[in-house]
Structure 1
Amino acid sequence: MTRLPALLAGIALFTLLAGCGAKDEAKPVAAASQPAEAAHEEAPLKLSPEELARAGIKVEALKAAPLADAVEVTATIQPDQDLFARIAAPVEGRIVSVAASLGANVRAGQTLAVLESVALGEASSALTAARAAQRIAEADFKRAEALQAEEIIAQKDYLRARAELDKAGAELRAAEDRVRVLGADPGSAGRSGARLAVSAPFAGTVVARKATVGELASPSEPLFAVADLSKLWIEANLTEPMLARVHQGAQAAVSVAAYPGERFEGRVTYVAGMLEKDSRTVVARIEVDNKDGRLKPEMFATARINAGTQVEREVLAVPDDAVVLLQGQPTVFVAKGEGFEPRPIDPGEKVGGRTVVKSGLVAGDSLVVSGAYALKARLLKSQISDEH
């Protein structure tokens, strides 16, 4: 009988110890769950004053601003085709001198190159002969006219002299026309002989040159290209949905990567009447002044064309440089207390160097408008340190 109470006392002691052990094991689990919940609320990223200055951090209060309805498209800069010329030799000949270099500014009528042409030499000789024949015919006619007035010669001799003068005049005009067609001035053809000057049709810049001394020039191969670059064409391709919003005469602003933050004002002067079959787009042309010569043909550009079909609307828009990608999500940094916190956003259209924000921010948020990439690098560095 003495063994049974001892056995029951042992079972009770084991149960009590097991219960205490279960309580002790549950405590670490509860403690571990608390930091996991806190991990969802990251502490603001804090930088020292020296780090802030080095990163160039600038903060602005976000506010809604009016945004005009506009179309933004990529474009290419081209010379004004009305002020662009490819200049070829009007007649086959050998180049004897070149007077214009690539990139040179030239005047209207300035000589670009000189060539010698056998055809022009023959035409010049024929012109000289025609002029001599015309002078003889004119002298014969004047003598016949005087003799006919005195009734010394017959009427038929007078008429023959007049016909010879008309014939000589026609042959002279034909010889002058031939010299003119070959690109020379009939007035100086006799003096210049077989030499021909190739000149600029208007003032501009030599943008292409293929003329080389000693080579043979022909009418089918341009020797120079001259363009007046004081006005340029910005050619943009409009998709079908854009057509109803863009019209001739609309104001436009053009920006290029070479001059960040600058806008070159212009207007739409032409919208093509046909859709391009392959690209399914329509070409729109914007004319801009380029008197300072900073814009260059073949540059890529971004054109913002005022559509004018809707009134301005109030939107929240942030600078494009304020938006960074964190884990594939467009994100901005907002000043919070003494630090900065990343804020995911839903971006909309890009207009004039700013990104419209559909959601994620509200008016009054203190937005980091400069230095966002430095904050991103600091944030990633701190996350890597935490993992280790």
Structure 2
Amino acid sequence: MTESTTGMSWRGFIAAAAVLAATAGVAWFATRGSTDTAESGGHAHGAGAPVGVGGPVMLDSAQAARIGVTFAVAQRSPIVREVRSVGQVAFDETRVRTVSLKFDGWVERLYVDFTGRAVRAGEPLLVTYAPMLASAEEELVLAHQLLRDVQGADSATRRGAERMLIGARERLRNWDVPAEEIARAEESGESRRTLEIRAPYDGVVIEKLVNEGQRVMAGDPLLRIAELRRVWVEAEVFEQDVALVRLGQRVTVELDAFAGRPRSGPIVFLQPTVDPETRTLRVRVELDNADGQLRPGMYATIRVRATGSGAVVHVPRSAVLSTGRRDIVFVRMDDGMLEPRQVVLGIASDDRVEIRSGLAVGETVVSSATFLVDAESNLGAALGAMAGMPGMEAPTPSKSVPPPPSAHDH
């Protein structure tokens, strides 16, 4: 046989191999595509894989180790689910107070003159002058003096003086004049033209709405003070997770500012309605802040852990291969074959997923490199399908086919 004839035969052999490979690829995709339309069959070993699912795969231990295949056993127990959501630290609205006056007047002195200033309970905030208040305090002093003067008079006169004193006291109390100021005026017999307004409790000034020398009307907000020994964290949970959260449930809160130092607190509020646009529900968590480290506006992540109502069969999430219309696991049989099996999924956690049907407790499944096993399974199924196609029988080596040319064939 001449050198040219040998070269032509070898090139023909390569071309035939290329055609065979291309045909195998087409058959594999055709088989893979059928998984979206065919119904799955039984999954007993030896009865064949479900229709539209790849065939069984045999991997020895060396091959499994080479591609990173590991295994897990299907278990039966409750699944612990975790709901996570990003939120923000906010003021406890029940601990925010607005400082205002119940009478008209002028701010003669402003001690707390910037936003963010910390104040202590009883600390002077401002001094106000109000003509109405000064007149009412003068009436109190006169009524108290009158009552002393009529002690020797008849009972009707004394009762009249007592009513005047009680009325003067009540007027000042209605204007939130402190009891100690009223007692001072009665005991000293001297009225004051100004009144000192003090902080109702410890806190931080979160809003300043007045300046020194400004005239204010009754009811005008002057300062807003927030007490920060307790704060809220407000977050949103998706509609599908609403059943996992409840009032009083303790949750874990992680803050970006204090990584590795989580806190915990109860859920104190669940919004009664779901946002129609985001399909989320607002959740409010209460946190202790006695150390003052938590500041409104900080980002936080809440973690709600909830255990399912009962024991279920579950496997690692990595064991399940989803094709879009069906979910498959590869079950290791007694003879070592990896059989693809269609399953029905249920609830899931971060790392586990419930198997409602298709798998029994104690069966072993592929838990990693599932995609590679699936590719091998489908390739095997495609080649098996090609074996029955006309003209695709495996060729028998013929003596007339020359061996590949070597360096000596010259």
Q: TM-score, normalised by structure 1?
A: 0.57
* Partner in structure 1 of residue 163 of structure 2: 170
Aligned 8 A contact 1:77 1:232 in 2: yes
Q: CA deviation at 1:73?
A: 2.8
The answer to whether structure 1 residue 99 and structure 2 residue 111 are counterparts is yes
* Partner in structure 1 of residue 32 of structure 2: none
Counterpart Cα distance in 1 of 2:275 and 2:10:
77
Read off the aligned partner of 2:226 and give its amino acid letter: A
Against the structure 1 CA distance between its residues 260 and 168, is the aligned structure 2 distance closer, same or farther, given a 3 Å change threshold?
A: same
Q: Deviations over 1:187-219 (max 9, x none)?
A: 235646221222111222223223321112334
Against the structure 1 CA distance between its residues 254 and 219, is the aligned structure 2 distance closer, same or farther, given a 3 Å change threshold?
A: farther
* Partner in structure 2 of residue 289 of structure 1: 288
Counterpart Cα distance in 2 of 1:301 and 1:176:
50
* Partner in structure 1 of residue 40 of structure 2: none
The answer to whether structure 1 residue 108 and structure 2 residue 128 are counterparts is no
The answer to whether structure 1 residue 231 and structure 2 residue 243 are counterparts is no
The answer to whether structure 1 residue 305 and structure 2 residue 307 are counterparts is no
Q: CA deviation at 1:82?
A: 2.9
Show the 5 A alignment for 1:98-137: 98-100=110-112, 101-137=114-150
Aligned 8 A contact 2:203 2:228 in 1: yes
Against the structure 1 CA distance between its residues 26 and 203, is the aligned structure 2 distance closer, same or farther, given a 3 Å change threshold?
A: same
Counterpart Cα distance in 2 of 1:292 and 1:112:
24
- Match of 2:126, SS? strand
Read off the aligned partner of 1:275 and give its amino acid letter: T
Show the 5 A alignment for 1:183-194: 183-184=176-177, 185-189=181-185, 191=190, 193-194=192-193
Read off the aligned partner of 2:223 and give its amino acid letter: F
Counterpart Cα distance in 1 of 2:79 and 2:238:
22
Read off the aligned partner of 1:91 and give its amino acid letter: F
- Structure 2: give runs of 5+ residues left out of the alignment: 23-69, 319-346, 354-365, 371-410
Counterpart Cα distance in 2 of 1:245 and 1:28:
62
C-alpha RMSD of the superposition? 4.4
Q: Deviations over 1:288-309 (max 9, x none)?
A: 1222322221334321123344
The answer to whether structure 1 residue 275 and structure 2 residue 294 are counterparts is no
Aligned 8 A contact 2:275 2:281 in 1: no
* Partner in structure 1 of residue 46 of structure 2: none
- Match of 2:219, SS? coil
Q: Deviations over 1:90-133 (max 9, x none)?
A: 32221122223433332222211111112211211222222232
- Match of 1:249, SS? coil
Q: CA deviation at 1:260?
A: 3.6
- Match of 2:258, SS? coil
The answer to whether structure 1 residue 212 and structure 2 residue 211 are counterparts is yes
Aligned 8 A contact 1:74 1:303 in 2: yes
Against the structure 1 CA distance between its residues 311 and 299, is the aligned structure 2 distance closer, same or farther, given a 3 Å change threshold?
A: farther
* Partner in structure 2 of residue 252 of structure 1: 251
Against the structure 1 CA distance between its residues 111 and 317, is the aligned structure 2 distance closer, same or farther, given a 3 Å change threshold?
A: farther
Against the structure 1 CA distance between its residues 22 and 71, is the aligned structure 2 distance closer, same or farther, given a 3 Å change threshold?
A: same
Q: Deviations over 1:215-253 (max 9, x none)?
A: 123343322222221211223344544333222221201
Counterpart Cα distance in 2 of 1:196 and 1:214:
14
The answer to whether structure 1 residue 83 and structure 2 residue 101 are counterparts is no
* Partner in structure 2 of residue 342 of structure 1: none
Q: CA deviation at 1:166?
A: 0.9
Show the 5 A alignment for 1:21-60: none
Aligned 8 A contact 1:69 1:311 in 2: no
Q: Deviations over 1:146-165 (max 9, x none)?
A: xxxxxxxxxxxxxxx31121
Aligned 8 A contact 1:269 1:286 in 2: yes
Q: CA deviation at 1:75?
A: 2.8
Instruction: Flag the structure with higher helix content.
Output: 1
* Pick aligned residue for 1:68 from 80, 84, 95: 80
Q: Deviations over 1:324-361 (max 9, x none)?
A: xxxxxxxxxxxxxxxxxxxxxxxxx998xxx6487xx9
Read off the aligned partner of 2:108 and give its amino acid letter: V
* Partner in structure 2 of residue 199 of structure 1: 198
Q: CA deviation at 1:316?
A: 5.4
Q: CA deviation at 1:19?
A: 6.1
Counterpart Cα distance in 2 of 1:312 and 1:292:
42
* Partner in structure 1 of residue 52 of structure 2: none
Counterpart Cα distance in 2 of 1:350 and 1:89:
57
- Match of 1:198, SS? strand
Q: CA deviation at 1:20?
A: 7.6
Against the structure 1 CA distance between its residues 291 and 136, is the aligned structure 2 distance closer, same or farther, given a 3 Å change threshold?
A: same
* Partner in structure 1 of residue 174 of structure 2: 181
Counterpart Cα distance in 2 of 1:297 and 1:62:
47
Percent identity between matched residues is 25
Show the 5 A alignment for 1:335-350: none
Counterpart Cα distance in 1 of 2:292 and 2:16:
72
Counterpart Cα distance in 2 of 1:106 and 1:92:
25
* Partner in structure 2 of residue 379 of structure 1: none
Aligned 8 A contact 1:62 1:316 in 2: no
